[in-house]
Structure 1
Amino acid sequence: MNIVVKTISKIALSSLLLASIGVGCRAKKDLVASPPEVVSVVEPPSMAFAAQEPLSLPALPASATWSPPMGDSIRQEMRAVWLTTAYGLDWPRTKADDENGLRRQQQDLIRILDRLAADGYNTVFLQVRQSGTVLYPSNMEPFARFFTSSGQPPAYDPLSFAVKACRARGLAIHAWLVTYPLASPKNAPHPLLQRHPAWGLKHKNATHLDPGEPGVRQYIASLARELAAGYDLDGLHFDYFRYPEDAVRFPDQRSYRLYGAGMDREQWRRSNLTRQLEEINQAVHSIKPYMQISVAPLGKLRKLPMLDRSHGWTAFESVYQDPITWAKKGLVDFLVPMMYYRDHLYTPFLQDWSQSVGRYVPVVAGLAPYRIVQDRWQAQTIIDQMEQERMMGSGGICFFREEHVGDKYPAMRQQIRQFFHRTALPLALPRGLEHRAQAPKLLRLVLEPNGERTVVWMHDRDAHEPPVTYRLWATLIKGNGERRGVLLAQGVREPHYRLRGEQFSGYERVEIGVEAVNSYGVSTPIDQALVITMG
């Protein structure tokens, strides 16, 4: 091989890229040749590299600009699933009562994550809190009872295990918390209500924490801080972040009298949820500024005057969620509305989300394949909804729940695999522009003693920068000048990547570029390429 390292203009380097990297851009329909079906996300092992002299590289001209190419076959898209742990609905199905049970419980999760990675998913929302119990060792709340027959914690930390397993498979993991409902029977009140009985209100035969109580909001923010401090999570995802069903009868007269400050009750309730998000952001980002915050609101944002039929309940009017304000204020990085409807209750509301909220943050449509079984929907309904989501340029798809897109329903699983068969990039989130990483420099090729070749680069990072991974692109050029752009790898965590010879078979020249991608999915423009002449 003849190896040359050179700096080329950002305009020329656009041929290396197949995806729009800019924040807020709309995903485009597939128009060009597909990339490889399998993309490596496995870190190469640590290795010692032969010392090389630094290369002197000319600076880019000040006028150079970069613009992504049109006609992308690789899109930014969240491909997610809600993995439910309450009652072991998705996991755990096996009790960790002894060493054998613990091993099988962990293997069950590994099988789920292996399947998700193989099927093209890139994100897992793992339920870590339900009814005031959690699946990690907490200083604030009792452990969930679903992991052992006795209800005692298992002999390992399930959340730590899940985080490591997701990392090994290139899957983002967000801790999914059910926010305000609380299990607190009279004969065994929840520990929180033993200390603060006024914080929990009985409503429709259930206990619901009162978002109007400042202490409740501080408590939820402290839970978020505990998770942020203890685990290498990509984000925190809040479910049931709302007032309960039939909220007009929710008995929060006391807190309204104390803290209403002259607002009408509906306005006050919406402001309570917005304040809660502000406090969560402050608590989490004081520890990890790069951690993502998201909410799963109701699927119908607000009443639509153009619909001449019943809406049912809506996020804004019925349960006092205000997603437009959350998005405008930057309190969420993305939203996952639960679009568990069809026909006239799906398309107009998806369009409303896209137009009203999508201009500020990505909207990921939460879909309901469980209704194929529960309500006898046709599987094609879900596929059609996925197609509509892409046509409207939404941020992706999330399925409720994992079981309904898994091995138990092979036809649905196969259709989703086909829908996800092209590689996806993680969403580039607006807040990430404030933390854009430096571009990798000094790309070079190292020949190892065993004959393998590794691309190596240098990357200067500020100690305060969020974590980064690396994404490698290549333009493959044949002798007749035909060019093909491919994504070689993403999710690489070290500044080196081992090449595979079969990746370049039949090509005369290869140009390789490396991006640094921060934890928000925002990448650096490539301003340097490694040019390899095959021979």
Structure 2
Amino acid sequence: MHKSLLQYLLLTLAMASASLAQAQEQPLKREFRAVWIATVANIDWPGQKGLSPAVQQQEFKYILDEHQKNGMNAVIVQVRPAADALYRSNLEPWSEFLTGKQGQAMNPPYDPLQFMLEEAHKRGMEFHAWFNPYRATFDAKAEVAPNHITKRRPEWFIKYEGKLLFNPGIPEVRQYITSVVMDVVNRYDIDGVHFDDYFYPYPVPKKPFPDEQTYAAYQGLFTNKDDWRRYNVDELIKGVSDSINHVKPWVKFGISPFGVWKNLADGPDGSATRAGAPSYTALYADTRKWMQVGWIDYLVPQVYWHIGNPAADYKTVLEWWAQNAFQRHLYVGLGAYKVASDPTYREWHDPNEMPRQLQLARATPNVGGSVFFSSKSVMSNPNNLQDSLRNSYYKYPALLPVMDWKKNAELEPPFSLKVRQTDSGVRLHWQHDQEVRYYVIYRFVKESFWETPFWKRAFWEERKWQPLDPDLSSPVSIVAKVFGTNTAFIDETPLESGKYIYVVTALDRQQNESAPSHPATVKYKY
């Protein structure tokens, strides 16, 4: 056989095998799918400073609508960019990224966090409140409000590269940051608390962080400053974790650190990388330890490198984290902002780069989902990324992974499910006696009795013509998630003429799912 013909046949066979494998791949029932919505410098929302509340709300609803179409089931929204607030607070002033001037309230007044939270829950999405713990000013030009913490407690701050940063070595700083977080946990119905990668600042060559006096005052028994710095950050993480679990143990606590914990050169337990600022050695954040001892519920390392990167290969970093998850949840942070953007990111112009990263994440044990930075980058659809999510990877909805260490009382199934056809769609109504987070609506096509195999007909006869127990293992039949205060839903999905079976399940705050309600059948006529 001619060599070129043989190569062609082999290639065709390989492509056919790949297509078959993709066709046979079962959609995931459980997966964390989220985007970061950054407010600092108006990266994602609001579109600019000083927009009216009506326009801000319209923008945010559009963002959520688009990500609902993208298949996202969670949003991570920055509510405290720089010791300020995108919510009503007696501790910190309104953020300048809302009105253009720090401390200036909305006019007409509204609470952005409460609004965003409610809108996310309406769409079946978890809302994780993202705090930047240590940044006090965003840049050297920042004009802070008279009641800003840098004015009230100037001794708590260190100036580094033109920015004011909380001094992590001062115990009162840890107490204050914890109080800010807990103020939100106590007053808002958030699903999670989220910290980003800024702990001790990213180092600048030949400019050491000037905390000599703090070390002299608070070093205690420490003889190594690096260990002391890591202890300071550890204490903050442990304190926030303990405080959340004491008040609302169902609220998740997650961290999104720099993608590499340690390079192999820093110790045999590090990854085979040569990253420039590992969390452990450069930012003094022992992120691996926080997973190991259970202070956090999930970790989202920012693996913003392409596959094959010589300093930090995406696959290498991902697999290292998967081997160091310690039974906590691990999601991968994906650098959507690099896709088809800067010409220097040559590999990111390859339209297959992000799909390969998603496929690797799904194929790697202990990786339970992905988070994209950031919202605007996904919505701009670089290299058809958004189209790929909608038409392939996130085509079907997914429930969030369950955190087994957060126990809830067992849920009873919803009952008294009624369905009927209306002019606007199929209307469902049910009852339930327990507090739940969401209800999940499933829809199945009812097989005609005469088209059903004989053994199934016999089984139905034994059950007095009741349909078989519905298969809830696949998300293909999920129609919607409904927030737990609602016990009614209208299925407006275009249907073909025929009989449909509906069941409803309940989800608690940790996404544990109840058994299904008794099925209800409707004959749909269009």
TM-score for the superposition, normalised by structure 1? 0.76
Aligned residues: 458
Q: Distance in 2 between matches of 1:449 and 1:137?
A: 42
The superposition leaves residues 434-462 of structure 1 with CA deviations (integer Å, 9 ceiling, x where unpaired) of 1144222544436699996635243345x
- Give RMSD over aligned pairs: 3.4
User: Given the alignment of the two structures, is residue 370 of structure 1 paired with residue 327 of structure 2, yes or no?
Assistant: no
Are residues 455 and 276 of structure 1, via their aligned partners in 2, closer, same or farther at CA, if it must alter by over 3 Å? Answer: same
User: Given the alignment of the two structures, is residue 117 of structure 1 paired with residue 68 of structure 2, yes or no?
Assistant: yes
The residue that corresponds to 1:392 in the other structure is 364
Q: Distance in 2 between matches of 1:341 and 1:204?
A: 26
Partner residue of 2:213 out of 233, 245, 254? 254
Partner residue of 1:244 out of 201, 209, 214? 201
Deviates more, 1:191-200 or 1:160-169: 191-200
The superposition leaves residues 227-285 of structure 1 with CA deviations (integer Å, 9 ceiling, x where unpaired) of 11222221111113421122893233333334333233333322322221222123334
Q: Distance in 1 between matches of 2:433 and 2:404?
A: 23
Letter in 1 for 2:158: L
Are residues 148 and 447 of structure 1, via their aligned partners in 2, closer, same or farther at CA, if it must alter by over 3 Å? Answer: closer
The residue that corresponds to 2:176 in the other structure is 219
Q: Does the aligned pair in 1 maintain the 2:411–2:513 contact within 8 Å?
A: no
Q: Distance in 1 between matches of 2:374 and 2:330?
A: 18
Q: Distance in 1 between matches of 2:88 and 2:273?
A: 48
The residue that corresponds to 2:122 in the other structure is 168
Are residues 438 and 415 of structure 1, via their aligned partners in 2, closer, same or farther at CA, if it must alter by over 3 Å? Answer: closer
Q: Distance in 1 between matches of 2:168 and 2:27?
A: 44
Q: Does the aligned pair in 1 maintain the 2:32–2:331 contact within 8 Å?
A: yes
Q: Does the aligned pair in 1 maintain the 2:427–2:488 contact within 8 Å?
A: no
How far the C-alpha of 1:217 sits from its partner, in A, is: 0.7
Q: Distance in 2 between matches of 1:477 and 1:446?
A: 14
Letter in 2 for 1:468: R
The superposition leaves residues 485-524 of structure 1 with CA deviations (integer Å, 9 ceiling, x where unpaired) of 42243234234555679768545x84x5543212222223
Q: Distance in 1 between matches of 2:144 and 2:70?
A: 43
Are residues 438 and 300 of structure 1, via their aligned partners in 2, closer, same or farther at CA, if it must alter by over 3 Å? Answer: same
1:132-531 aligned within 5 A: 132-149=83-100, 152-155=104-107, 156-183=110-137, 191-246=148-203, 249-263=208-222, 264-304=224-264, 310-342=274-306, 343-344=308-309, 345=312, 346-357=314-325, 359-372=326-339, 373-374=341-342, 375-376=344-345, 377-378=348-349, 379-393=351-365, 394-407=367-380, 409=382, 411-418=384-391, 419-432=393-406, 434-440=407-413, 442-445=415-418, 454-461=428-435, 467-473=436-442, 476-479=445-448, 480-481=451-452, 485=471, 486-493=477-484, 494-497=486-489, 506=498, 510=501, 513-524=503-514, 526=515, 529-530=518-519
Which sections of structure 1, spanning at least 5 residues, go unmatched?
1-29, 35-70, 462-466
Q: Distance in 2 between matches of 1:104 and 1:196?
A: 35
Q: Distance in 2 between matches of 1:501 and 1:348?
A: 43
Q: Does the aligned pair in 2 maintain the 1:193–1:200 contact within 8 Å?
A: yes
Q: Distance in 2 between matches of 1:309 and 1:79?
A: 27
User: Given the alignment of the two structures, is residue 92 of structure 1 paired with residue 92 of structure 2, yes or no?
Assistant: no
Q: Does the aligned pair in 2 maintain the 1:436–1:523 contact within 8 Å?
A: no
Q: Does the aligned pair in 2 maintain the 1:96–1:154 contact within 8 Å?
A: no
Deviates more, 1:176-185 or 1:488-497: 488-497
Letter in 2 for 1:435: N
Letter in 2 for 1:261: G
Decide which structure has greater helix share: 2
Are residues 529 and 312 of structure 1, via their aligned partners in 2, closer, same or farther at CA, if it must alter by over 3 Å? Answer: same
Counterpart secondary structure, 2:88? coil
Q: Distance in 1 between matches of 2:290 and 2:271?
A: 25
Deviates more, 1:135-144 or 1:182-191: 182-191
The residue that corresponds to 2:37 in the other structure is 83
Q: Does the aligned pair in 2 maintain the 1:370–1:401 contact within 8 Å?
A: yes
Letter in 2 for 1:530: P
Which sections of structure 2, spanning at least 5 residues, go unmatched?
1-19, 454-467, 472-476
Q: Distance in 1 between matches of 2:294 and 2:23?
A: 36
Are residues 33 and 522 of structure 1, via their aligned partners in 2, closer, same or farther at CA, if it must alter by over 3 Å? Answer: farther
The residue that corresponds to 1:64 in the other structure is none
Letter in 1 for 2:244: V
User: Given the alignment of the two structures, is residue 105 of structure 1 paired with residue 56 of structure 2, yes or no?
Assistant: yes
How far the C-alpha of 1:299 sits from its partner, in A, is: 0.5
Q: Distance in 2 between matches of 1:201 and 1:81?
A: 32
The superposition leaves residues 328-376 of structure 1 with CA deviations (integer Å, 9 ceiling, x where unpaired) of 333212111111112241111111111101x421111111121231343
Q: Distance in 1 between matches of 2:203 and 2:438?
A: 45
Are residues 180 and 478 of structure 1, via their aligned partners in 2, closer, same or farther at CA, if it must alter by over 3 Å? Answer: same
What is the aligned-residue identity percentage? 26
The superposition leaves residues 123-167 of structure 1 with CA deviations (integer Å, 9 ceiling, x where unpaired) of 111111112222222111121112235553322222222122212
Q: Distance in 2 between matches of 1:448 and 1:125?
A: 37
Q: Does the aligned pair in 2 maintain the 1:94–1:104 contact within 8 Å?
A: no
Q: Does the aligned pair in 1 maintain the 2:419–2:427 contact within 8 Å?
A: yes
Q: Distance in 1 between matches of 2:182 and 2:273?
A: 43
How far the C-alpha of 1:426 sits from its partner, in A, is: 1.2
The residue that corresponds to 1:20 in the other structure is none
Q: Does the aligned pair in 2 maintain the 1:181–1:207 contact within 8 Å?
A: yes
Letter in 1 for 2:132: V
Letter in 2 for 1:478: E
Q: Does the aligned pair in 2 maintain the 1:78–1:123 contact within 8 Å?
A: yes
TM-score for the superposition, normalised by structure 2? 0.77
Structure number with the bigger relative contact order (C-alpha 8 A, sep ≥ 6) is 1
The superposition leaves residues 379-424 of structure 1 with CA deviations (integer Å, 9 ceiling, x where unpaired) of 4222211111111141211111111111464723222323211221
Are residues 274 and 446 of structure 1, via their aligned partners in 2, closer, same or farther at CA, if it must alter by over 3 Å? Answer: same
Q: Distance in 2 between matches of 1:308 and 1:237?
A: 28
Are residues 206 and 383 of structure 1, via their aligned partners in 2, closer, same or farther at CA, if it must alter by over 3 Å? Answer: same
Counterpart secondary structure, 2:438? strand
Are residues 94 and 202 of structure 1, via their aligned partners in 2, closer, same or farther at CA, if it must alter by over 3 Å? Answer: closer
Q: Distance in 2 between matches of 1:193 and 1:149?
A: 19
Letter in 2 for 1:111: Y
Counterpart secondary structure, 1:249? coil
Are residues 224 and 309 of structure 1, via their aligned partners in 2, closer, same or farther at CA, if it must alter by over 3 Å? Answer: closer
Are residues 230 and 523 of structure 1, via their aligned partners in 2, closer, same or farther at CA, if it must alter by over 3 Å? Answer: same
The residue that corresponds to 2:464 in the other structure is none
